[in-house]
Amino acid sequence: MPDYRRNRVPGGTYFFTVNLLERSSTLLVSQVDALREAVRKVRAARPFHIDAWVVLPDHMHAIWTLPPGDADYSARWKAIKIAFAKTVPKIEHRSPVRADKGERGIWQRRFWEHTIRNEQDYAAHVDYVLNPIKHGLVACVRDWPYSSFHRYVARGVYAPDWAGQGVDDLPAGERGVR
């Protein structure tokens, strides 16, 4: 069995990529309200700060900061995946292995995690999260509705016509490294 090693920094800031099992699916955007509700439920039970998030058709990127003394992001992702799966009709194909384990065929089992090291690392990852242009989904960042980019614009951190340039000039408090 593989030995997956996770870096766990209590109160740390992390970048994540979480994928659907079927990479040609559009489930995350077609069921975005169910995903939002799953995240709300999990945050109510196990708080975390959402620094940035983009939901794409078949995967999502997020940056979270956990509370001081807490490094358990894995339990939060597991709970989000379960809560979301409970709301989606059971129409997906399941492998015999998943069926035997009683698992849905919605999510990839693992996710990518990266511990944010410093403000420059944070800035680069926020730019990555907030930029759906690289996925060929929109011509302008502001045109993608499933992104925390709009929250950054409302706070005056990004200009509405931002096109993927750096956030190095963000005030330190806006960079999320805590």
Structure confidence by residue, pLDDT tens digits, 90-141: 888 888 998 888 888 899 989 999 999 999 999 999 999 988 998 889 989 9
DSSP 147: B
Tokens of 90: 């059971």
CB-based contacts of 109: which residues, under 8 Å, 6+ apart?
none
The pLDDT score that the predictor gives to residue 104 is 87
- The count of other CB atoms within 10 Å of the CB of residue 69 is 7
CATH number at residue 21: 3.30.70.1290
CA torsion sign for 24, 113, 137, 29 is positive
Overall domain count for the chain: 1
Q: Is residue 107 part of a domain?
A: yes
Q: Which of 14, 73, 122, 146 is catalytic?
A: 146
Q: Is residue 110 part of a domain?
A: yes
Residue 162 lies in domain = 13-167
Q: Grade residue 172 by pLDDT with cuts at 50, 70 and 90.
A: very low
Q: Is residue 176 part of a domain?
A: no
The pLDDT score that the predictor gives to residue 91 is 82
Q: Is residue 174 part of a domain?
A: no
Mean pLDDT for the stretch of residues 9-17: 97
54 — phi, psi (to 5°)? -135, 130
Catalytic residue at 146?
yes
Mean pLDDT for the stretch of residues 158-174: 62
Q: Is residue 131 part of a domain?
A: yes
Q: Is residue 177 part of a domain?
A: no
Q: Is residue 5 part of a domain?
A: no
Q: Grade residue 178 by pLDDT with cuts at 50, 70 and 90.
A: very low
Q: Is residue 94 part of a domain?
A: yes
